[in-house]
Amino acid sequence: MGRLFGTDGIRGIANQDLTCELATKLGRAAAAVLTNKSTRHPRVIIGKDTRLSSDMLESAMAAGLCSVGASVVLLGVVPTPAVAYLVEKYKADAGVMISASHNSYEYNGIKIFSGDGYKLPDELEERIESIILGEVPLPPQPADSDIGTVTTAPNAIRDYIDHVKSTVHFSLDGLEIALDCANGSSSKTAETLFTELGAKVHMLSNEPNGLNINADCGSTHMEALQAYVKEHAVDAGIAFDGDADRCLAVDENGEEVDGDFIMAICGLDMKSRGKLNKSCIVGTVMTNLGFIKCCEANGIRFEATKVGDRYVLEEMLLENYSLGGEQSGHVIFLDFATTGDGQLTAAQMLSIMKRREAKLSDLKSVMVRYPQTMVNIRVSPEGKVAFYTDPKVKKAIDTATKALNGNGRVLVRPSGTEPLLRVMVEGEDLEHIRKLANDISEVIKEELT
């Protein structure tokens, strides 16, 4: 992980960690590193979510880009995957999304896409960081006549909606669904998209005011959507996060359908139609054991990566796999998109429901979710290193693994961003796995804290 960039761009409290000055510097540095040198005025598109600080950071980023000669095209409020799609459609050199995803309104972030719609590799992020931190000089600033300009893209939302619609070949006519937009980016797109696909929609949390993004709504707070689905007897509910690059679902009984269930439903359908390349799905080390067993039972290979959708995507690109994602609802359909897309994911899943005339609860029955428990233990940096070699910790992990008798698993890993060791245990009995996780945690506390 870089000094400024985390696993998903630069993020922090707006106007405190993520300032206008930093956004301006980032614009200049990104233009220097990413733009096509053969173009006199390289073209960069900028999208944003609905939080209060997004206008401010959009202006600062645009100013930085223009100051080094880039032409900026403002998309307005759009989902993150719209930027990833439109950067290639509009033949731009780079795309910028201003969003802090599922975080509350006081946070914001900036993520950058290259001209092919993919998130930046580590090497390019490091070069941008070096310029921002003054370790590498910026190219000379252009003369007045070469300063960049700012324009808008009035058809951005329409172009994105049409793209998602093009991936669905079966009408949703007859389906009645509830859509929780988290008062975020999907507030601009979801109602039109799913109505045009044929569904009858009920809209929740689609009135952003700059302060209410992700506030007790969306994919991180499912309770209101679950209650609404049961009360109004709709066929399914869909919850997006603030920038709509992921979604979770609710079946007709009000039960949550997480990313693992969504991948199981879509993966099995793709395999039945010959669309699951190499009969493989990519997940992470945190993917539920029930999903792995579902894959085994249906002749699908499972590949696990580190936690983070960027690592899932890297593995998919390396081996040309067509489906991958995370339990949190980041699902990547590589045939249609270069990043996770909550609305595209929902459209694919709902089209399967309609095509098979099946309830979502029936579709999700292909997978049985194993109970999973997590304990976080605060340790020193030295403790995080010593974890790999401490014999008592290793023995505690081995003992817990044997106690599961092949019907579960133990995963202990250091956090990539915090001074924590995370102990995750899965198994068939919740009380049993809680005891095993606590047993390991006590040994870690004795040895490493």
Which residues form the catalytic set?
Answer: 101
Short-list 102, 57, 104, CA closest to 80: 102
**In 3D, which of 368, 246, 270, 274 has the Cα closest to residue 323?**
270
The sign of the dihedral angle between the CA atoms of 224, 225, 227, 233 is: positive
Indicate the pairing of strand 236-240 with strand 247-250.
antiparallel
Separation between Cα atoms, residue 255 and residue 269, nearest integer Å: 21
Buried b (16+ CB within 10 A) or exposed e, 72-87: bbbbbbbbbbbbbbbb
Contacts with 340 (C-beta within 8 Å, 6 or more apart), sequence order? 81, 245, 246, 309, 325, 329, 330, 331, 332
Closest CA to 205 of 182, 224, 236: 182
CA distance 46 to 447: 49
The conformational region for residue 268 under phi > 0 = left, psi -120 to 50 = alpha, else beta, is alpha
CB of 263 within 8 A of CB of 280?
no
Q: How far apart are the first and last CA of the chain?
A: 24
Which bin fits 21, alpha (ψ -120 to 50), beta or left (φ > 0)?
A: alpha
